[in-house]
Amino acid sequence: MGQIKLLLADDERIERSILYRKLSRELGEECEFIQAENGSEAVELFKEHHPQIAVLDIAMPELDGIEAASRIRQMDENCVIIFLTAYSDFQYTRQAIRLRALDYLTKPYDEEELFAVLETAVFQVKKRMEAEKQEAEDRLAGGTPKSCETGAAVPGTGVVKKESDPIQELDADDIPEDSGAMSDKTMREIRDFVSQNYMHDISMQDAANYMRYSDTYFCRLFKQGFGCNFTTYLTRYRMKEAVRLLKNTELSVKEIALKTGYSDSNYFAKVFKRINGVIPSEFRG
């Protein structure tokens, strides 16, 4: 499996350089970086290099990040898109979600959130590459691709479902401008969802569906209530459970990875080290 190509677009040269250094330090062995200084260049470089991940600033000259992402999405429906912006206007979040962006981080971004989102992006790309490789091998062998088999696993399988009730799905327009607090009941329901499903392949969209909220509404509500994005909260929860299992059980690192939602034990170890400073085997001693 070759290196993953990551497109980094920001018209602020110094900010782009700082971000590049941070990302190359964490992901340099896995990613090849392609840099663009505006939206138009980002689109042209995407056509030339076909990166699997695009990190885009929104306020860029010639072509803003939203329009650049829209054109990228037309060329590649699978590209993992992440927005970085100095704007807190939630209209941008709405547009980002409609473009199926993985996340939307507001500058100055928190490094923990940034790395959690990028690690998730890399993991998603690796899973897709492995699935495509397996399908190609199955075709050459004359078999049925695993993704086409009856009963094949799909994202969300095994996720605890919420009992239906007459609550209407809410959208971002339903949030009052001064609504800065999430109810205790809502926070408890979201915590319960994570505690019951962290071992599965879940996403912010799964949590929003569980709560019967639109993605846009849930994204804003979660940030207001928990002070971080869903990806960061989920990663923290998984790592807390991993620490508990390492301390209190004799399970192998691979088994603990699976029990905390990581099918790739190497990826699990990388995330664990970023948060805890040592790899799981060193933590256990």
Q: What is the pLDDT of residues 9-67, one digit of tens each?
A: 999 999 999 999 999 998 988 999 999 999 999 999 999 999 999 999 998 988 999 99
DSSP-derived letter for residue 30 is: T
Fold of the domain built from segment(s) 233-284 = Arc Repressor Mutant, subunit A (1.10.10)
Q: Where does the chain have alpha helices with state H?
A: 13-27, 39-49, 65-75, 90-98, 111-140, 184-197, 204-211, 215-226, 230-248, 253-259, 265-276, 280-284
Question: Over 60: is that where the pLDDT of 129 sits?
Answer: yes
- 4-124 has which fold? Rossmann fold (3.40.50)
Q: Which of 49-58, 72-81, 158-167, 233-242 has the lowest mean pLDDT?
A: 158-167
Name residues whose C-beta falls within 8 Å of residue 180's C-beta, 6 or more positions apart in sequence: 224
Structural domain boundaries in the chain = 4-124, 172-227, 233-284
Q: Please give the Cα distance from 215 to 200 (Å, whole number).
A: 19
The three-point CA angle 258-262-268 to 5° equals 110
pLDDT above 90 (res 149): no
Q: How confident is the model at residue 2 (pLDDT cuts 50, 70, 90)?
A: confident
The distance in angstroms from the start CA to the end CA of the chain is 32
Q: Which residues contact 216 (CB under 8 A, 6 or more apart)?
A: 90, 93, 94, 97, 171, 172
Q: Using alpha carbons, select from 172, 262, 189, 171 the residue that is nearest to residue 226.
A: 189
Length of the chain: 285
